Amino acid sequence: MNHIVVKNYEDMSKQAAVIIASQILRKKNAIMGFATGSTPIGTYQELIRLYKEGILDFSAITSFNLDEYYGVPVTDTNSYRYFMEENLFSHVNIRKDATFVPSGMASDAQAECDRYEEMIQQAGGVDLQLLGIGHNGHIGFNEPDSHFPARTHLVELAQSTIEANARFYKTRDEVPKKAVTMGIGTIMKAKSVLLLAGGKDKADIVEKTIKGPITPAVPASILQLHQDVTIIQVL
Ligand code: PGA
């Protein structure tokens, strides 16, 4: 694992954007895996700046997002599709029909998960997967469990995740309890992985991710077995 420690959020965002930009410059039609959450927002702002300065061209890339709340329509400001439109897609020249986020509204969730997994593999797999990390070690919405889920699947969110997400809602009852997420196997198939962890509150889980036992109780710990992982951590 390549572990980079930076002193602030701005430095993390700049370094992450450089890694993503160099992937897109190396391969114009790269398959990108994008993430939501508060951590990558600064990275997306940097990518938008590079686009506006004429350095980056998104027109040939395809993107797959990690996850989406289940039961939340794309028009909902808390949906991850909405987040991506707001924070990246509407500001750059990415083709809308080349951006994929799992549907949170499919009546047959399993069929949607299978379709999404299939689409990623059909596209040739993700070249660079961007990840945040939850305080409980989740990546995507792969919560601590007794096994590492292989494929895109429907999950019940952990209580700690629901509590962490409550900051975006007026009442706790409104916070989604389920999500569709790429599996750990899906993430591990990405050719390279870039994990961002902002803030001292993530220091403990990053330490467990990098140095602790590889266990589904800390889902991100599986990344120790990936051959090309960069972790950028603010400390
Ligand atoms: P955050 O979420 O970026 O909002 O901290 C990260 C995550 O839970 O994966």
Task: Please pick, among 46, 68, 117, 143, the residue that the annotation labels catalytic.
Answer: 143
CA-196 nearest atom, ligand 1: 3
Q: What is the pLDDT of residues 108-151, one digit of tens each?
A: 999 999 999 999 999 999 999 999 999 999 999 999 999 999 99
Rounded to an integer, the average pLDDT of 35-52 is 98
Q: Is 138 a catalytic residue?
A: yes
Rounded to an integer, the average pLDDT of 138-167 is 96
pLDDT of 218 strictly over 90: yes
- In short, whether 219's Cβ falls inside 6 Å of ligand 1 is no
Of the candidate ranges 55-59, 76-80, 154-158, 169-173, the one whose mean pLDDT is the lowest: 169-173
pLDDT of residue 101: 98
| Angle, alpha carbons 126-205-36 (nearest 5°) | 40
Closest by Cα among 53, 55, 50, 30 to 194? 30
Mutating to test ligand 1, I would choose from 38, 87, 155 the residue with most ligand atoms within 8 A of its C-beta, which is 38
pLDDT of residue 199: 86
- In angstroms, the Cα distances linking 145 to 33, 117, 141, 179 are 23, 21, 11, 15
Q: How far is C-alpha 111 from the chain's CA centre?
A: 21
Rounded to an integer, the average pLDDT of 201-206 is 97
Residue 98: band (very low, low, confident or very high) from pLDDT cuts 50, 70, 90: very high
Token couple for 144: 């601590």
Q: What is the pLDDT of residues 11-33, one digit of tens each?
A: 999 999 999 999 999 999 999 99
CB 190 within 8 A of CB 129: yes
Mutating to test ligand 1, I would choose from 36, 67, 133 the residue with most ligand atoms within 8 A of its C-beta, which is 133
- In short, whether 38's Cβ falls inside 6 Å of ligand 1 is yes
Rounded Cα distance between 196 and 130, Å, is 8
Tokens 């439109």 identify what position? 85
Q: Is 124 left (phi over 0), alpha (psi -120 to 50) or beta?
A: left
